[in-house]
Every structure is written in C-alpha cells, then in structure tokens.
Amino acid sequence: MDERFINFDSKSSLDDFNCVINEANVGLPEKNKTRIQIPNTSLYYDYAKIFGDVYSERILEYTFLICNVNALNTVELEHRKGMIANWLIPGSQHLLQDSAIPGYYFKAEVQSAPEYTDNIDYAFFKVSFTCYPFRIRNFEEGEDIWDTFDFDNDVAQNTSFNISGSKKILLINTGVTVLSPGINVTGSVTIAMNDEAKSFAAGSYTDTGLVLERGENVVNFIGSGTVQFHFTKEVI
C-alpha cells in the first residue's frame, strides 16, 4: 500500500522529510447561515439567495511519523525536528496537496504550534492546518485532463468562444460555491450573465463583476472577437 503524504509549500512530507502520515482528519467547513426575520411575520430572509452559502474555515489535522527514528542520534533528531518546524510554521497560506485526495489542493496555514512526542521507538508531529473552506481543482475548467477527470462530478466543456454578432452559450459551475471568472478578450465584446452585463475591450480581466452561479449559467455575447473564461471548481 502506498504511504500517505502531503505536499505543502512545494515540499513533500515523505520525500523531503522522510515522514509518513500516521493519522489524518480532513475536517469539513461549517456553514454560516445569515438570515433576518421579516418584520411582523414568522418568516426569515436568507441572504444565501444573493451571496451564496457562506462557510467558515476548515481544519486539517495530520500526525506525521518520523521514519527510522531509532537510527538517529539526539543531535540528528533535533535537527530533523527543526527542519520540519521550519517547513510547516513560517508564512501565511500555502498550497497543500494530500496524496489521498488527488486532483485538488487546499489553501492552508499552520496557526498553532505543532505537538511533538517521542520515545526510543517513535517520534510524532501532530499538526493542525487552518484552511480556506473549499478544496480547489488543480486545473481550470475546460482543460479536461483525462487522468484526473471525475466522471461522476466533472463536466467536459468549452471555455473559449469566437464571437461575431450575437451568441448564446452555456457555462457549468460544478462546484458548490459561486465564482467570479477571469476573462481574456480580443476585439470588443459585451457579456451578459445572471442579470449582469459588462462590456470589455481587448485585454485580460480578473475582477470582472460577473458571477457564475452553481450549476448552469446562460451567457449572452454581443460583439466581435474571442472570449476565454478562466475559473476553477471549488468543492467541499
């Protein structure tokens, strides 16, 4: 059986630090409901209808076993501990990939000190990562990489379109949260979707003011040129 490991901040717990995961707890995010009671009624208005569901950060906990610890002397063990601590703790959020969850990554940060225990036969590091609520696909929609394509949940779709006059297309957000896509444009095009219409000259845009709702999104174009959407699936 393959040993479970993580890649964090471009380094591998297994290849770079000779640690395997002894225990793992990939926590789920809590959904935060934002509702107000409609005056003089027993009814509530749910703001998720406007902004989508809101989630709190999620916690990932891993206990790493330092391999072959009985082959290390005291100085070597302290050196290994220092290397692991200096890998995990500094900085803010980094990309974290878990070998047991292929095709996705987390935005993760260690905010509290790891717990370390050892005796003559073993040494453990227990680490808690605070993460962005969603796990994120390793590649953008439209790339459709065969080896990691999820036939149960992914959708093969085009995200690049030639526009001449008017055109209507369908974009599908198979994730669980609303997304704001980036857009590359040549020519001049007006894009309308989900009650918003924006005009774009040639260029690359990251803050477009357009939103992809969960599921199917009808997109209307008027103009001439090409439009390519950039967005990445986010799931729980």
Distances (CA, A) of 175 to 32, 96, 231, 233: 18, 19, 10, 5
> How far apart are the C-alpha atoms of 234 and 236, rounded to whole Å?
7
Over the Cα atoms of the chain, what is R_g?
23
pLDDT tens string 156-179: 899 999 999 999 999 999 999 989
Question: pLDDT band for position 124 (50/70/90)?
Answer: very high
- How many CB atoms lie under 10 A from the CB of residue 188? 14
Contact 140, 231 (CB under 8 A): yes
DSSP state of 210: -
What are the residues facing 172 on neighbouring strands?
216
pLDDT of res. 39: 74
28 contact partners, CB below 8 Å, separation of at least 6: 58, 236
The enclosing H or E element of 169 equals strand 160-173
Look up the pTM and report it. 0.84
Residue 51 has pLDDT above 60, yes or no: no
Q: How many residues does the chain have?
A: 236
Mean pLDDT, to the nearest integer, of 116-123? 83
> How far apart are the C-alpha atoms of 124 and 157, rounded to whole Å?
45
Contact 114, 124 (CB under 8 A): no
pLDDT of res. 146: 62
> How far apart are the C-alpha atoms of 63 and 120, rounded to whole Å?
18
Classified as helix, coil or strand, 87 is helix
What would the two tokens of residue 220 be? 């209307």
